[in-house]
Amino acid sequence: MIKDIKKRGQEEIVGFVVIVVIVSVILLVLLSFLIRNPSEEIVNNYEVESFIQSALQYTSECEDSTEFLAVQDLIIACSEKTICLDDKDSCNVLNETIKGLITKAWNVGEGSAVRGYKFSVSEDEVGTLLIKEGNETSNYKGAVQPFARRGKEYEVFLNIYE
Amino acid sequence: MVARTPNRFNSKKGQLKIQQMAFMLIAIFLLFILAGMFFLSINLYNVRKTAVNLEEQNSMLLVSKLANSPEFSCGNSFGTSRLNCIDFDKLIVLEDKKEEYAELWGVAKIEIRKIFPRDDTICSYENYPDCGVIKIVDKKVNTLPASSNFVSLCRKEANERMIYDKCELALLMISSEDKT
């Protein structure tokens, strides 16, 4: 009789302890996930936005009769198939300039946190230029910068893939 | 001998009950502590997330505010008014008077670094504009990680034919003093 009661009591305690241990382990696992520092963003949307704004102001190597063209003017020159003063194709200069700007600013490539990028320009909602490099992932930051010139509306898009 | 049996039985049963109760109390206490820590960490996580967002917003605002402040901005010197455009000519003058402006912006470090084309030469009157790093505020204190944003670094340039606007890509970096 005593043995039976003792055994039953022990079983109850063991059962209870097991439940407490399981619940504790689950809570501890969840706790460790929550206590971890929130991961710092590698790229922020505002950085991409300010990058586009600054890149559009960059003075390129393409010169017309009055000045060296900024990237924004070079986009228009490229869509109008203009040739620079030194006989270079404006679209080639635009391509090289954009690639150089993005590569230096974001350090795109193997071993870098930035896996790739996609830069595109649309004129009156029709895509006119697309430059991309690296891998496109689902985790990306992007921005768009619209501007208008000579009755046409341009939009510059940039996605940076992490 | 016969009379002692119920007492022993009762005593053993009582001990078992006390042991059971002690285990129960310890387990419940542990459970409550863990549950409390769990909810506390949820709150802490949310507070930390909000702090990170606020810090990011603050840095972004500060960098934008600085880039567009009269001491830095291009104004109308390069045609129309531009956003995130810094006048390199103004910076070199500011660099020369950095002691006078050290307290104006309330930060420990302000640095502008040219990234395209990349140039790591520290700027001075002697090598301007063939340089790429300019330090406007540089207090010798412990600082928090720098906040940065892209800016356009513009100046007037001349060749044999004309004077033109030359804008390059740069990074404006700001660090606050670490007071912890």
- ipTM value for the complex: 0.74
Q: Do A38 and B16 touch (CB under 8 A)?
A: no
Question: Within an 8 Å CB–CB cutoff, is residue A51 touching chain B?
Answer: yes
Report d(CA A148, CA A138) in Å as an integer.
31
Residue A42, pLDDT score: 65
Confidence of residue B56 (pLDDT cuts 50, 70, 90): low
Are A33 and A49 within one domain? Answer: no
CA-to-CA distance for A141 and A162, rounded, in angstroms? 8
Identify whether residues A11 and A85 lie together within a single domain: no
The reply to whether A13 and A75 lie within a common domain is no
Mutate to test the interface with B, among A54, A96, A102 (most CBs of B within 10 A): A54
Same domain, A66 and A106: yes
A99 and A31, same structural domain? no
Give A137-154 pLDDT, tens digit per residue.
888 889 999 999 888 899
A78 & A22 share domain? no
Per CB-CB distance under 8 Å, the chain B contacts of A17 are: 23, 27
Question: Looking at residue A3, what is its pLDDT?
Answer: 62
Segment (H or E) for B94: helix B88-96
Does the beta carbon of A122 lie under 8 angstroms from any beta carbon of chain B?
A: no
**Same structural domain for residues A143 and A63?**
yes
The predicted structure's pLDDT at residue A149: 86
pLDDT at A121 (0 to 100): 93
Q: Are residues A99 and A127 both part of a single domain?
A: yes
Long-range CB pairs of A26-29 (<8 Å, 24+ gap) are: A27/B34, A27/B35, A27/B37, A27/B38, A28/B34
The better pLDDT of the pair A78, B107 is held by A78
Per-residue model confidence (pLDDT) at position B144: 79
Q: What angle do CA A83, A91, A45 make, to 5 degrees?
A: 140
The average pLDDT across B52-61 equals: 71
> What CATH number corresponds to the domain at position A90?
3.30.1140
pLDDT at B1: 47
- Helices H / strands E in chain A, number of each: 4, 6
The CA-atom distances, in angstroms, between A144 and each of A56, B86, B145 are 12, 22, 28
What's the confidence (pLDDT) of residue A38? 55
Q: Which residues are CB-contacts of B176 (< 8 A; sequence separation ≥ 6)?
A: B107, B108, B143, B144
pLDDT at A70: 93
Looking at the fold, whether A26 and A55 belong to one and the same domain comes out as no
Q: At A112, is the secondary structure helix, strand, or coil?
A: coil
Q: Percent of chain A beyond pLDDT 90? A: 40
Average pLDDT, integer, range A67-77:
92
Which has more confidence, B102 or A73? A73
A and B: number of Cβ contacts within 8 A: 113
Give per-residue burial for A3-23: e unless 16+ CB within 10 Å, then b. eeeeeeeeeebeeeeeebeee
Say what the pLDDT of residue A2 is. 57
Chain B residue closest in CA terms to A70: B167
Mean pLDDT across chain A, nearest whole number? 85
Domain shared by A51 and A125, yes or no: yes
Number of domains in chain A: 2
Could you read off the pLDDT of A18-51 as tens digits, one per residue? 887 887 788 788 777 766 655 556 677 788 988 9
**Cβ distance B124 to B36 under 8 Å?**
no
What's the length of chain A? 162
pLDDT tens profile B84-132: 899 999 999 988 888 888 888 888 889 999 998 888 899 988 888 899 9
Same domain? For A79 and A12 the reply is: no
- Does residue A1 carry a pLDDT above 70? no
Residue A6 belongs to domain spanning:
1-37
Q: What average pLDDT score do residues B54-63 get?
A: 72
Residues A59 and A5 in one domain: no
What is the phi/psi pair of residue B179, to 5°? -95, 5
**Distances in whole angstroms, Cα of residue B95 to Cα of each of A88, B71, B92, B152, B167:** 38, 11, 5, 18, 19
Question: According to the model, what pLDDT value does residue B8 have?
Answer: 67
In tens, the pLDDT along B124-174 reads 888 888 999 999 988 888 887 888 889 999 999 988 888 889 999 999 998
Res. B3: pLDDT tops 80: no
